[in-house]
Structure 1
Amino acid sequence: MKTLAISVLCALAATAALAKLPPLSDEAKAKAAEAAAKTAWSGKVDAWQLCKAQDQVAASYFKAAKAQGKEAKPPAATPACADPGPFAYVPPEAKPPAAPVAPSPPGKMP
């Protein structure tokens, strides 16, 4: 019961602390966007490495089964492992500020 109460209090304190943070500056938003892009790329690299490791294990299994004279089912068709390549972040183009609207010339109003 104590741990539940402490957990609830910590969650409330964290929520209150986050609510008081100021909005992010443009530079901070750019850094956050780059970090998100790098995290997504890291996930793709991890998936690629896992795919390659699975291919190696499957090849080893089929080789060992063939050497022992066992009959193994043919491997299921899977998509090829896609190498994500090196990390390259291209920041989105900054939008130019909107042009100010010119005031209407003085004169007759319709």
Structure 2
Amino acid sequence: MKKLLTLGLLAAASATVMAKLPAPSEEAKAKAAEAAAKTAWTGKLEAYQLCKAQDKVAAAYYKSAKAAGKDTKPPAAAPACADPGPFAYTPPEAKPLEAAGAHSPAGNATSPPSTKQPDAVGNPAKKS
């Protein structure tokens, strides 16, 4: 009985926790967009640092192999490391709803309505 009561109380408590949260504000959306941009830039920066480290290790390997008199194959062609530069975020400008076409009226008709449609009373279409 106690287990069932405890389970019921936990279920009720979890339902209140899972209540719908309000929509984020414009400021919160802007912060989230900036955080996403920073995360993407960080990924590019880490890839650049990895590329530079791999180049350094490969150069050290070829140098030590040449000093030891070993034969080495030429390195495979790889794209140059791309430096992402410093982080710079410029927020996109929001278009007003009118400019975005969200509430634009329908365009003008270019031809008359079809006369081959049945009329509203249910009579069959007229043949021209």
Cα separation, 2, equivalents of 1:83 and 1:23: 37
Q: Which residue of 2 aligns with 1:51?
A: 51
Task: Answer 1 or 2: which has greater helix percent.
Answer: 1
Q: CA deviation at 1:23?
A: 1.0
* CA displacement 1:54-110 (0-9 Å, x = unmatched): 000000000000000000100000000000000010100111242888xxxxxxxxx
Find the counterpart in structure 2 of residue 104 from structure 1: none
Question: Which structure has the bigger radius of gyration?
Answer: 2
Runs of 5+ unmatched residues, structure 1:
1-8, 102-110
Stretches of 4+ moved more than 6 A in 1?
none
RMSD: 2.4
Residue correspondences, number: 89
Give the Å deviation of 1:19: 5.6
Write the letter of the residue equivalent to 1:37: A
Query: Could you say what secondary structure the match of 2:39 adopts?
Result: helix
Give, as a single letter, the amino acid of the residue that structure 2 aligns with 1:26.
Answer: E
Structure 1 SS opposite 2:30: helix
Where relative contact order (Cα < 8 A, 6+ residues apart) is larger, the structure is 1
| TM-score where L is the length of structure 2 | 0.62
Amino acid in structure 2 at the alignment position of 1:84: P
Q: Which runs of 5+ in 2 are unaligned?
A: 1-9, 105-128
Structure 1 length-normalised TM? 0.72
